[in-house]
Structure 1
Amino acid sequence: MVEGHHPNELPQRPDCEGAWEGSDHFHLRGEGGSPLTCDAVSEEVDGVQPEQTLRPVDDQAVRAEPRKEGPEMRQVLPLGGASDENVIQVDKDEGEVPKHRVLTNVEQFNAINALPTKLYFGDGQTASNFASHSASWHKYCHLKFNNFKLAKAKEKRQHNPRNPDDSEGKKQMKRQRLDIQKCFFCESGTDQGVLHEVSTFDADKKIQTMITELDDTKFMTRIVGGDLMAMEAKYHLPCLVKSRNRHRSLTRKSGQSPENTDEKMNESRAFIELINYIEKSVDSGVLLFKLSEIHSLYVSRLGELGIKKLVNKTRLKDHLLEHLPEARAQCDGKNTLLIFKEGLKNMLKEALNKRNFDEDALILAKAAKIIRNDIINHSGFQFTGSFPEKCQENALPSSLKSLVSMVLNGSNIKHQEKCDSQACLTIGQCIVYHTKKRASSTAMKTRHTLEREPPLPIYIGINVHAQTRSKKLVQQLHNLGISISYDRIMQIEDWLATSTCEGFEADGVVAPACLRKGLFTVGALDNLDHNPSSTTSVTSFHGTGISLFQLPTKSEPEGSGWTTALTEADVASSGMAESFLKAAHLTRTRHAHQVTLLTLHNLQQEAFRLSAGPKDEEYLMAWRNEMLKKSPTFMFWDLIMRYETLILIFIRAHRERNFPLYVEVLEVLAPLFFALDHVNYSRWMPVHIRDMKSLPNTIKDEFENN
C-alpha cells in the first residue's frame, strides 16, 4: 500500500517502472533493467512504516501476469474530513480482522469507552462489519488508533475504572456543599475526634496544594474554588496526617524518576556545602551546633537552588553523623545538639561551673529563715545606763556572727580571725536592729523594738548628740539605719539624768557619774568668782570649781594621757601620737620623748622655784624626795622623766660607743621588761647582759675604738 495513491494506480518515477499486483505488492525495475518484486505489508504497526522486501523476478512472467481490476469502493467509516486523495480504503474481499488491525483497535477503543474521536455507528458493529462495508479512513486518523495509544488507554482505564456505558467520557466535577460541622476529609463529626478549624492562610494554601497534587477528586469537589478559612472548614488531625503521608509518598515516588536528576545533584551539592561549613567552623573553634539552625541553613540553601521540599531533621542528623564521625548527637528532650568531642568536654565544664539561681535562692531562703529565728528568739541587749564588757558579742546570736564572718573572710579555716572583728559585730548589730517579725507595707515611719536594740546604735546616737547637740545630724544617722532616733535619745538622757539625781540623793554627795573605782585620780580646785559690772546686775556669784582626772592602769586601755597632751600641744597629730606608742617611726618617737622630757623637766624646775626654801642643788634633791612622798601625781611624772632619761642615755651610749654605759643602762631597764610582761625580752635580756660582761677586753676595745 502506497500513501497518497489508489492501490490500482502505479506511481510514476523516473528511475523505475512497474505495475501493481493487487494491493499487496508491486514490481519495480532496478538499475540495468533487472526486474525486482516488492512485497509491501499493507498495515502500519504503532506508526512505523511497513518493511519492504525486494527480490528479483522473471521479467516475462511479470509482463505476462494479468492486471487485477480495482474492487468496488464505498466509504462507510469516515475518520476525518480530508480530501479523497488521502483516503485509504479496504476491499470487501480482504476484510479479515488480522489483516486490518486498525479496525480491531477501533472496536477495542469503543469497548473501553476511550475513543479518541467521536464515531457514530450503531450497536453490534465489529471489525468484520467495517471490512465488509469497505470502511475507509485518513492516514492521520489511523495514527490515533494505533497499538501504542490503545495500550496507554487500557493502562489508564485500569487505574481509573469507569462505567463502560458512559459514552460521554469524564463528567465535569461539581462542587459539593461543605458541612462545617464535619471533617472535610472523612465527612465525620466530633464523634471521631476533635475538629480543628483552618485558621491561617498558610495552612489553607498547603492543604489545597496537597489535595491538588494528589489528584483526589473526592476531596477536590469539596474545596475546589473556595477559601477554607472563609468556608470555616474543619478537619480531624489524624485525617490531615494521613493525607500528608499520602502526599509525602507520592512526592518520594516522583523524586525517583530520571527527570529529577538535576534536583538530586543540587541536593547533594547543598549537603556537601553544609558539611564543609561545619568542618570549617570546627577548625575555627566552634564545636557545638544546634540541629534546628543547621536544618534551617540547609533548607534555605535548597530554596536558593530552586528545591522546595520537606527535610526531616532526624534523617538529616543521621546523614550528618555518617559524614562526621567525630560528632555526637545530644538531646535534652527539646533541642538536639551536634557536639564534637572537644565541645562535649567544654560543655561539661560549663555545666559544672554554671550557676543554678533557683538552688541558690532556695539556699538563701533557708539560711535567712534560720538566722531570723535565732535573732527573734535570742535574748537581746538591754541598756541599763552603761555598756558592759563584750556587750556587742553577747547581743548577737552565734549563727549571725558565723554567717557575717564567712561573708567577710570566707569559709577557709586559714583565713579566719581569732575573734570576731568590729566590722563583723557592726554589721550583725545593724541586721538585728532592723529585723522585724512582720514587715508592714503601709507604715510611713520605720519602727524598732526595744527587745532588739543592740548597743552600737545607742552608742552612736548618744555620742553624736553629746558632741554636736544636733537633732538634724542624729535624725540623718537614724534614717541611714546606724543610730537610734532623736526621740529615743531624749528618752535615754532623761532617764539617765533622773537616775543620776536619785544616786546623788542616795549617796548624799554630788560626784560625776563617769568616775571609776580603783583608778589613779587627780583633782584640781579653783575659786569661781563672778562679779558683773553691769548696772542692772544685783547679785554676784562665788563658788569653787573642782576638776577630777583619772589615770587608768594597764587593765584600763585608755592610756596615760601622753598622746592627748602631745595632740593638744600641737606636737603631733592624733594618729601620729598613737604611732609613738608602737615606735612605728624611730626618729619621730625619739623626738617626742625628748620634747616630753624637756617639758616635764621645765615644769619640775618651775615648781621648785615657786617652793619655799633655798634654791641650791642639795635642797632640790631633798624637795624632790619630799614631793615623791606627798604627791602621787608628782611621783608618776617623775617616774616618766626617769625612764625617758634612761632611754635617751641608752641611745647616747650607742652613739658614743660607751660600752660600760650601754651595759649599765640595760641592767636598769631589765626589770621593766618583767613588769610590763614582755616575755621574750625578760627571758633573754639577762643572758645578753651576762654575755656582754663576760666579753674579753680586746672585743670591748674594738667596740669602743671602732
Structure 2
Amino acid sequence: MEPTSEMRQAMTMQLNERLNECARNLNDGKLLALLSGGDVVALELKYHWSCLTDLYHRERAHIKAEKQEKIQSSQEKEAFHLVFSELLTYVIEAKKTNSDGPSVFRLAELVNLYRERLKQFGTDLPDVNATRLKERLLAEIPGLVAYKKGRDILLAFEKDVGPVLSEASSDADAIILAKAAQILRRHMVNHKSKFEGNLYESSVHDSFPPALLQFVCMIEHGADIKSQLKFGATTNDLAMAQLLLYNCFAKCKEGAATQRHSRDRETPFPVYIGMSIYAKTRKRHLVEMLHDHGLSIPYNRVLDISAQLGDAVVNRYIEEGLVCPPKLRKGLFCTSAMDNIDHNPSSTTATSSFHGTSISIFQHTSSENQGEVREPILIKNSSVKKVPELPDSYTNVHPAFFTKKKPSPPKGNVTYASLPTLLLTNEYEWLQKVSLTQDVDDEVNITWSAHHAEKKRGLAFDVSITSLFPLLRDEAHSIATVRHTMNKVRDAIAHLNPGQVPVITADQPIYSIAKQVQWHWPDLYGEDKFVVMFGGLHIEMAAFRSLGTLLQSSGWTGALVEAVVASSGTADSFLSASSVTRTRHMHQVTACCLYMLRKEA
C-alpha cells in the first residue's frame, strides 16, 4: 500500500504492544525481526498512519478468516452426524408406513441420498464409503439385514421388527424429546452471536448452530432425508432458528416480569426487525410490543445500535478523508443526482421546517463487473450513545458568487446522432399492432408500455447500487451549494472509480445554476471535467414542451376537443406538459391515429 500520510513518531508503549500483537497474529517475520531489537520508543521508529491502519485491517481479516475456518470445519463434522440421523429416520419411517409389506432399500440409493444431502450442507466433495455406511446402518437399526443380489446390496427388515420399532418409539417419545431439548440447548447456550454492524448473508448463517437449523427444518418439512433434500433451509427456517436462539436464556431470574436478552446471542433477524420498524414508523411502543413477543430487540437497543453504526460510519469518513457511503463499491461506473429536499410540517403546532440538499450516487453493475466490495462497517465502540458530527469539510459550504452576469458558454462542435434503426422498428411494430387490433381485453397488450415491456420480458438485467449521502442543511438553489455538491461528487467518484468524469443529473433550476458554475470556473468545473444533464423525467418534460411549441396553433388541441378525447382546458395543458403521464398518452394516441390514416391513404 502506498503511504498517503506524513511520517509519525512512535511515542507510546501501547503502540509497541499492539504492533507486537499484530506481528504475532500475522506471523510477519520482517516486523517480528524489527521489533525484536527493543520497544518502538527506544528504537525511535516512525510510521505512516495509513500503513498502520492497513496493518490493523490485515490482522482483523486474518483473525476473522481463522475463526471462519474453525467454524467451517466444526460445521462439516456436525453435518455428517445430522445427515446420518436423517437417513436413519428415513429408513425407520419407511418401515413404519409400510409395516405390512416388505421394506427393501438399495444401498447405492441410500449412499446417493447421503452424498447429495452432504453437498446441500456445503461439504466439499463428500467422500462416502458405502461399506462403512452399511455397517453403521446395521449397527443402529435393529432387525436390518443386508443381502447381496448380483452387484447390488439390498437392505431389508426382518418380518417381526415392525411392531418392535413401533412399540419402542411410542414408549421412548418423551425421553427422546427431552434428550433432543438438552442437546439443542447445549448447542444454543455455547454458541455466540454478536451483532457487529452488518446483515450480510454470511452473518445470518453464522449466527446460530447448524443443529438448531436442522431441527427447525425437520419440524417444518419432515425428518427424513428426502424431505430435507426437496425443501432445504427456507427463509422461514432461518428466521425461526434465529428467534429461538435469541430467546434462549442460560439462566432465568425468578420473579422477573421480563427476561434480559444476552448480547452474545443477538441474531441478525430480531435486530433487522427492530431497526426496520423504527426506521419506518419511529414508534417506540410498536418496537417494544414486538420485543415483548420475542420478535425484536428492545427500543433502547435500537437506539444504541443506531448510535454505534453512526459512529462507525463517521469514523470511516474521517479515515478516508471524504464522505462516501460504505455501501458503494470500487471500480464501477457512477452517475449522481442532486436535488432539493423539503419538509413542511402539516401540524399547526410545528415551529420548524427543513429545506436542504440531497446527493445520490448510482453505480451501474454488469455481469462482467460487479465491482470491488469495500470493507464492511464494524461496530468497534459499544459505549457510544450519540452519533458524532459529520466532518466539517462536508457540512461547511463555502460562499461563492458569480463575477459575470452573463457568462458565455464554451464553443464546440456538436454532432447529433440519428436514432438507431432498432428503436424505430420497435415503434412501428407497436403502431402496426394497434392498427390490427379489433377487440381489446386484458390479454391483449396494446399499450405502448406493455408492448415494450413484453419485448424485454425474460432478458437479464443488473440492478444498480443506489446510495444517499448525508443531507445538507443548505438550500439547493444557490451557487455555493451547487458548487459544494459538485466538489463532493467529484471527490467520491475519484475515490470509487479513478479516472471517470463525474456525471451529475438535476432538475431545471439546479441544472441552470450548475451550467453557469461550469462556465464561470471552466478550469475546475468545465464541460471536459463534469457532465451535467437533466434527469430522465426532465428530459421527457423538455421534449414534450418542445413538441408543444411546434404544435401551437396547429389545430391539434382543437382536434382533441372535437374528438371528445379531452376538454378544452385539458387539451391546452398538453402543450406545456403539465402532466407528463397524460401528455405522453395523448401523443401516443395521436401517433396511432396518424399511422392508421396514413395506411388508409
TM-score of Structure 1 vs Structure 2, range by shorter chain: 0.3 to 0.5
| TM-score between both structures, scaled by the size of structure 2 | 0.32
| TM-score between both structures, scaled by the size of structure 1 | 0.28
Instruction: Mark the structure with the bigger radius of gyration.
Output: 1
